[in-house]
Chain A
Amino acid sequence: MQQCLNIDPGKCTGCRQCELGCSFAHEEFFSSSRSRIKVFDLHDQGLFVPYTCTQCADAWCMAACPVDAIQVDADTGAKTVDTGVCVGCKVCTIACPFGTINYVSATGKVAKCDLCGGDPACVKACPTGAISYIDSDTAGFSKMQQWVDKTAAQHNVQT
């Protein structure tokens, strides 16, 4: 079974614990700018949106890398950066249509979400369950369930 991060913006309070968990897991310090997951504040709509790499199966970053520094983690399916190989050319950052792989000037390498080897720190840090790590093949199931419940409720009201 392959798992993926599933994000429910409706549950996000904008606390950025995910960013702190991420930076701590990878760097042992707290830094929003070094986090591989970012929370966006859509202030006027009253909405917060955590945003990170979706681990494309056929990943643009991986295809673009001229030195094959980006590899597939066999266990999780995550696309991971081998910092020993990465030359910091940034071609992957251009290739990624989502902006979720980024150059870090402090290290001279790129960084992206690596699913923490299958135990994502952002999921553990999130206090509201806005980020979960679930079976990617049935990621839509809970949404289906919500619609089923909603439809059922409407049906009950009408009858």
Chain B
Amino acid sequence: MAWNQKVLRVDLSNGSCVNEALNMRWAKKYLGQRGLGSKYLSEEIDPTVDPLSADNKLIFVTGPLTGTCASTSARYSVVTKGPLTGAIACSNSGGQMGAELRMAGWDMVIFEGRSAQPVYLVIRDDKAELHNADGFIWGKTVWETESAIRAKHGDSQMRVAAIGAPGERGVLFSCIVNDQHRAAGRSGVGAVMGSKNLKAVAVRGTGCVEVNDPDQFMQATNAAKAVLAEHPVTGQGLPAYGTQVLMNVINQSGALPTRNARDVQFEGAENISAEAMVEKRATDNKPNLVRNAACFSCTIACGRISQIDRSHFTVKERPEYWKASGGLEYENAWSLGAANGVDDLEAITFINFLCNEHGLDPITLGATLSAAMELYDVGAISDKDCGGIKLKFGDARALVQMAEMTISGEGFGKEIGQGSKRLCEKYGHADLSMTVKGLEFPAYDPRGVQGMGLTYATSNRGACHVRSYTVGSEIMGVPVKTDPHVTEGKAELVMAVQDATGAFDSAGVCIFTSFGWTLEDLAAQVDAACSGEWTVDKLVEVGERIWNLERKFNLAAGLTGKDDTLPKRILKEAARTGPAKGMTCRLDEMLPEYYALRGWTKDGVPTTKTLNRLKL
């Protein structure tokens, strides 16, 4: 139990929807969600396929806790081969969608092939069918798509995950948005969905999720909820301020990449911080933040609901944006704000709304815009290239205009839509792309937080903060404080967090629980929910197995240890201000030790011994 033991296989090439049994042998080895989805993908596709071809597959996968009352058990992941990186991609989303899939009776949906016509999938409990999207929702926004599907199928409770027009056109950092503003955000999974001519997935589940030992499960989940309620991060910081609680903290730590990482501190950080979001605006006497909100079953409720100032230039003439919607999280406030030197809170909230409405990853969008601003600054692109826009750091109007051009695909927006790696290469400044393996790094500068350098360099989906969030330890002191400026011990820390994260990401719960929960807390809940014995050791083993499985996929896809690196700027140009002044990221002090700890060769290849130990 816990797993529904049902997989929906949708062949978009011939339109069939087939119900098949979940491979329980794999479920026991990979738990669910990220782990199980990655196992299915590696078994079913050739790692060298073109990510945007019919040969790639797209997997929506839940965890065994998804849809239960375990706190934060809202999660599902989208697993595929990523178009930005050519590496395995796995993007995790919350909201209501994952739980709805489980209540409809499924664990995962595998999309294969490519539809000749634009289609969308409707799942109503055990019934699934493809419908024509052409002349209906193709070309529409994510928000319009949700309303149109609900109206057409007469069900206001249907949950919809969709791509916007940029995803249809193949913008490489398109995401899949569900429940208006929760997203499988990174790695361009929306572009893969678009390449398959699949516009949306709509789900309505009236069934239930059952657990193996109900009494034990209630005890374990209640105890775990108490841990979250009592922890200062999950019980106070996140509900009150959201992830934006970090803006001022990271800025003061000298780890806030600013103006395409030219600097590590932003003079306007305060204006785009959590504290600024709750302050009443001079213009209308209302704060940007309306309230906090939770994903399904989440007792933390870090989500932000914001309302843009009606007199602001972005929405003055556009009342359709006056409503409340998904507000800024820290990564987005950084990518759209600090990364571009923009401190206009309302402008970046507006672009965040647009990202949700049209299905774009705000991290890569913001980071690519900041790379473009630097290209403009160094004279590699001109006003003419930008369609007359003066793309200067700090210019909120230019930022908004270019974001809108990226969405519409007009002019230079088309170049932005390829991500910063391709953009910077095209204009002869490959070094100005702040990416690892083609994915833009998020809101922590490795010069000020050394562990994050190793995290980005080794992350299997390209630069990513949620594969091993060592900021927890290095800045916040959770669970134990380590010095962010030293490299000693970081290889071990990164590896431990990577493996633990693999377990959290495969169970169906949110990684933010790991601020409060140990693996003991997670194991107690998984063990009560699932058949079989689930101990801490087993979860760590599952996490390590997943990490090596993903690594194996990437090596087979053509990546090598040489790709485990950082942008030159981070390795060579020292931080100019703040506590990390004078420092670069000393990746070379950490990487060899990391490979050794992992049981990999000095070139970063898992040894046969390691693979055998993990039964890979």
Chain A residue at minimal CB-CB distance from B228: A127
Count of chain A residues near B, Cβ 8 A:
26
Task: Please name all residues of chain A whose beta carbon is closer than 8 Å to the beta carbon of B324 when the two chains form the complex.
Answer: 43-46
Stretch binding the partner chain, chosen from A9-17, A65-73, A75-83, A151-159: A9-17
Docked pose: A23 CA to B218 CA in angstroms: 13
Task: Please name all residues of chain A whose beta carbon is closer than 8 Å to the beta carbon of B67 when the two chains form the complex.
Answer: 30
Task: Please name all residues of chain B whose beta carbon is closer than 8 Å to the beta carbon of A21 when the two chains form the complex.
Answer: 69
Partner of B68, one of A20, A34, A45, A125: A20
Known A15-B299, A23-B208, A46-B290: A28·B68 in contact at CB below 8 Å: no
Q: Mark B421-457, 1 if CB is under 8 A from A, else 0.
A: 0000000000000000000000000000000000000
- Is the Cβ of B69 less than 8 Å from the Cβ of A30? yes
Known A13-B293, A16-B297, A127-B225: A29·B210 in contact at CB below 8 Å: yes
Docked pose: A14 CA to B291 CA in angstroms: 11
**B298 in contact (CB, < 8 A):** yes
**B391 in contact (CB, < 8 A):** no
**A60 in contact (CB, < 8 A):** no
Docked pose: A28 CA to B211 CA in angstroms: 9
Docked pose: A44 CA to B206 CA in angstroms: 25
**B232 in contact (CB, < 8 A):** no
- Is the Cβ of B293 less than 8 Å from the Cβ of A14? yes
- Is the Cβ of A27 less than 8 Å from the Cβ of B69? no
- Is the Cβ of B294 less than 8 Å from the Cβ of A15? yes
- Is the Cβ of B307 less than 8 Å from the Cβ of A46? yes
- Is the Cβ of A15 less than 8 Å from the Cβ of B208? no
How many whole Å from B15's CB to the nearest CB in chain A? 29
**B229 in contact (CB, < 8 A):** yes
- Is the Cβ of A29 less than 8 Å from the Cβ of B301? no
**A133 in contact (CB, < 8 A):** no
Known A13-B293, A16-B297, A29-B209: A44·B323 in contact at CB below 8 Å: yes
Chain A residue at minimal CB-CB distance from B218: A24
Interface centre among B229, B292, B305 (most CB of A within 10 A): B305
Chain B residue at minimal CB-CB distance from A126: B299
How many whole Å from B159's CB to the nearest CB in chain A? 11
A:57-99 near B, CB below 8 Å: none
A:30-50 near B, CB below 8 Å: 30-34, 43-48
**B368 in contact (CB, < 8 A):** no
Partner of A34, one of B208, B291, B296, B301: B208
Task: Please name all residues of chain A whose beta carbon is closer than 8 Å to the beta carbon of B323 when the two chains form the complex.
Answer: 43-45
**B579 in contact (CB, < 8 A):** no
Docked pose: A32 CA to B299 CA in angstroms: 16
Task: Please name all residues of chain A whose beta carbon is closer than 8 Å to the beta carbon of B229 when the two chains form the complex.
Answer: 127
- Is the Cβ of B295 less than 8 Å from the Cβ of A15? yes
Interface centre among A33, A34, A127 (most CB of B within 10 A): A127
Chain A residue at minimal CB-CB distance from B304: A46
Known A21-B69, A32-B99: A43·B180 in contact at CB below 8 Å: yes
Q: How many A-B residue pairs have CB under 8 A?
A: 81
Docked pose: A127 CA to B227 CA in angstroms: 12
Task: Please name all residues of chain B whose beta carbon is closer than 8 Å to the beta carbon of A45 when the two chains form the complex.
Answer: 323-324
Chain A residue at minimal CB-CB distance from B302: A13
Docked pose: A16 CA to B69 CA in angstroms: 9
Partner of B299, one of A17, A30, A33: A17
Task: Please name all residues of chain B whose beta carbon is closer than 8 Å to the beta carbon of A28 when the two chains form the complex.
Answer: 210, 214
- Is the Cβ of B103 less than 8 Å from the Cβ of A125? no
Q: Mark B176-188, 1 if CB is under 8 A from A, else 0.
A: 0000100000000
Docked pose: A33 CA to B207 CA in angstroms: 7
Task: Please name all residues of chain A whose beta carbon is closer than 8 Å to the beta carbon of B93 when the two chains form the complex.
Answer: none
Docked pose: A93 CA to B405 CA in angstroms: 52
- Is the Cβ of B103 less than 8 Å from the Cβ of A15? no
- Is the Cβ of A125 less than 8 Å from the Cβ of B214? no
Partner of A13, one of B180, B206, B292: B292
Partner of B296, one of A16, A46, A47: A16
Known A31-B103, A33-B206, A127-B299: A17·B69 in contact at CB below 8 Å: yes
Task: Please name all residues of chain B whose beta carbon is closer than 8 Å to the beta carbon of A48 when the two chains form the complex.
Answer: 293
Chain B residue at minimal CB-CB distance from A32: B103
Task: Please name all residues of chain A whose beta carbon is closer than 8 Å to the beta carbon of B325 when the two chains form the complex.
Answer: 43-44
How many whole Å from B326's CB to the nearest CB in chain A? 10
How many whole Å from B463's CB to the nearest CB in chain A? 31
B:295-350 near A, CB below 8 Å: 295-299, 301, 303, 305, 307, 323-325
How many whole Å from B483's CB to the nearest CB in chain A? 35
Docked pose: A27 CA to B296 CA in angstroms: 19
How many whole Å from B317's CB to the nearest CB in chain A? 19
Known A15-B301, A24-B218, A43-B325: A30·B68 in contact at CB below 8 Å: yes
Task: Please name all residues of chain B whose beta carbon is closer than 8 Å to the beta carbon of A29 when the two chains form the complex.
Answer: 208-211, 214
Chain A residue at minimal CB-CB distance from B68: A30
Known A17-B299, A43-B325, A44-B324: A33·B103 in contact at CB below 8 Å: yes
Task: Please name all residues of chain B whose beta carbon is closer than 8 Å to the beta carbon of A13 when the two chains form the complex.
Answer: 239, 291-294, 298, 301, 303
Chain B residue at minimal CB-CB distance from A27: B208
Docked pose: A32 CA to B99 CA in angstroms: 9
Interface centre among B208, B295, B305 (most CB of A within 10 A): B208
Interface centre among B205, B225, B297 (most CB of A within 10 A): B297
How many whole Å from A33's CB to the nearest CB in chain B? 4
Known A21-B69, A45-B324: A31·B299 in contact at CB below 8 Å: no
Interface centre among B180, B239, B299 (most CB of A within 10 A): B299
B:208-266 near A, CB below 8 Å: 208-211, 214, 218, 225, 229, 239
A:90-146 near B, CB below 8 Å: 125, 127-128
User: Which 7 residue pairs spanning A and B have beta carbons closest together?
Assistant: A46-B324, A31-B208, A15-B294, A46-B290, A44-B323, A20-B69, A13-B301
Residues of B within 8 A of A (CB): 67-69, 99, 103, 180, 205-211, 214, 218, 225, 229, 239, 290-299, 301, 303, 305, 307, 323-325
For the A-B complex with A30-B209, A31-B207, A43-B180 known, give 16 more contacts whose Cβ atoms are closer than 8 Å. Answer: A14-B294, A15-B295, A15-B297, A15-B301, A16-B297, A17-B69, A20-B68, A29-B214, A30-B69, A33-B207, A43-B325, A44-B325, A46-B291, A46-B305, A46-B324, A128-B301
Residues of A within 8 A of B (CB): 13-17, 20-21, 23-24, 27-34, 43-48, 125, 127-128
